Amino acid sequence: MNDVLDVALRLLVVFVVFLTFPLIVGQTEHKVMAHMQGRLGPMYAGGFHGWAQLVADGVKFAQKEDVVPAGADRRVFQLAPAVALLPYLLVLLAIPIGPGEGAVGQVIDAGVFFVLAVMGIGVLGSLMAGWASANKFSLLGGLRTAAQLLAYELPMLLTAASVAMAAGTVSLVGILDAFQWWWVPWQITGALVFFIAGLAELQRPPFDMPVADSEIIFGAYTEYTGLRFALFLLAEYAGIVVLCGLTTVLFLGGWHGPWGTDGLGWVWTLLKTAVLAFVVIWLRVTYPRLREDQLQKLAWTLLVPLSLAQIALTGIVKVVIR
């Protein structure tokens, strides 16, 4: 009975995190973008500085009619948002938030592989949406999504492999247990490559070619309305939470901190994740969108060689210090 309760409680906590954290990131994005652009952002919903704006948005989305275009492939079209969103829920299960086995949804032996594999599935949702919409802009968006995923999954995997080499394990919990503070400068190249590749996989600016609203009208999501569109948006913000959490765990030491790791380890994890999420928003406001060929060039001629160099460095240091 105790085991069942334990599992149920963990699942519940992960689910609550999955429902709230993306909304917090979304609201932060509203406010941060507004202030960086010299305006106020949403101010009315909820009273204090428009804190309930996203709740109001949710109500608005729920009220809208759920339209499926006549020429679309009905089942695939309706299934796509779920395929895009659910993988991020699964990934959250494996991210450790504090020290010990109590602070992670489920300890997974091959954690690094699990998170990267499942994150890759989410892209299938965009592809399905792009094809099933029977819309040329959507198809273009789907194509760009696929090309982007193929280009950016490799550097992500290679840099994650570098951390796994350093720690001698592919378990996320094990990597955190083996972490030392000097890993941050040692793996900094890998961290940057991982974060940039992750941004590209999430299709966040400046890598938002697949959704580029000013040229292909939000790509794969053009035909979506109401709740299904909201699910795609939620997937994007859940993706930000997952990417920042993963970067924190793999490269920034997760619950390790200068002090108070025993009781307050989870605060460190959340703090680092929040700072990274802020950087994600910051990049959106700061950088213009890359062109499709620039994006491919960046991946194949810069990120892949850099991640290979990082792996070589990791190997050399590993051999020298043993």
Partner 1 sequence: MTLAAAAGTAAHATTTAAAETHGFLSPTGVEIAFLLVGLVTLGAAVITVTTRQLVHAALWLVVALGGLAVEYLLLTAEFIAWVQVLIYVGSVVVLLLFGLMLTRAPIGRSPDADSGNRWVALTVAVVSATALVWVVVDAFRTTWIDLDGAPAGSTEVTGASLFQHWVLPFEALSVLLLAALVGAIVLSRKAKAEQAATATAPAPATASGAPGPAATRSDTEGTR
**Does 20 sit near partner 1 (CB under 8 A)?**
no
Give the residue with the Cβ less far from partner 1, 73 or 313.
73
To partner 1, the closest distance from the beta carbon of 307 in angstroms equals: 15
Its sign, for the CA torsion 31, 34, 37, 38, is negative
User: What's the Rg (C-alpha) of the chain?
Assistant: 20
Q: At what angle do helices 226-251 and 136-167 cross, to 10 degrees?
A: 20
To partner 1, the closest distance from the beta carbon of 310 in angstroms equals: 20
**Does 242 sit near partner 1 (CB under 8 A)?**
no
Residues in 282-321 that interact with partner 1 by CB under 8 A: 293, 296-297, 300-301
Give the residue with the Cβ less far from partner 1, 27 or 169.
169
Beta carbons within 8 Å of 299's beta carbon, 6+ residues apart: 151, 152, 154, 155, 197, 200
Q: What region does 71 belong to: left with phi over 0, alpha with psi -120 to 50, or beta?
A: alpha
**If you count them, how many residues does the chain have?**
322
Binding residues with partner 1: total (CB under 8 A): 40
To partner 1, the closest distance from the beta carbon of 107 in angstroms equals: 11
Its sign, for the CA torsion 127, 229, 140, 202, is negative
* Contacting residue, 33, 117, 283, 290, with partner 1 by CB under 8 A: 117
Stretch that binds partner 1, among 30-38, 53-61, 95-103, 122-130 (CB under 8 A): 122-130
DSSP string, 178-202: H--TTHHHHTHHHHHHHHHHHHHHH
To partner 1, the closest distance from the beta carbon of 151 in angstroms equals: 7
Q: Do you find a cis peptide bond into 206, omega within 30 degrees of 0?
A: yes
Number of H helices, E strands in the chain: 13, 0
To partner 1, the closest distance from the beta carbon of 173 in angstroms equals: 13
Stretch that binds partner 1, among 12-20, 169-177, 242-250, 313-321 (CB under 8 A): 169-177
To partner 1, the closest distance from the beta carbon of 134 in angstroms equals: 5
Give the residue with the Cβ less far from partner 1, 171 or 248.
171
Residue span 125-164 as binding mask against partner 1, x where in contact by CB under 8 A, dash where not: --xx-xxx-x----x--xx--xx-xxx-x---x-------
In the numeric block, which tokens belong to residue 321? 């210090």
**Cα angle for residues 21, 23, 24 (degrees, 5° grid):** 65
To partner 1, the closest distance from the beta carbon of 175 in angstroms equals: 12
**Does 109 sit near partner 1 (CB under 8 A)?**
yes
Stretch that binds partner 1, among 22-30, 114-122, 175-183, 273-281 (CB under 8 A): 114-122
DSSP string, 44-89: STTSGGGTTHHHHHHHHHHHS-----TTS-HHHHHHHHHHHHHHHH
Give the residue with the Cβ less far from partner 1, 72 or 306.
72
Collapsing DSSP states into helix, strand and coil, what is residue 40?
Answer: coil
**Does 113 sit near partner 1 (CB under 8 A)?**
yes
- Residues engaged in binding partner 1 (CB under 8 A): 71-73, 76, 108-110, 113-114, 116-118, 120-121, 123-124, 127-128, 130-132, 134, 139, 142-143, 146-147, 149-151, 153, 157, 169-171, 293, 296-297, 300-301
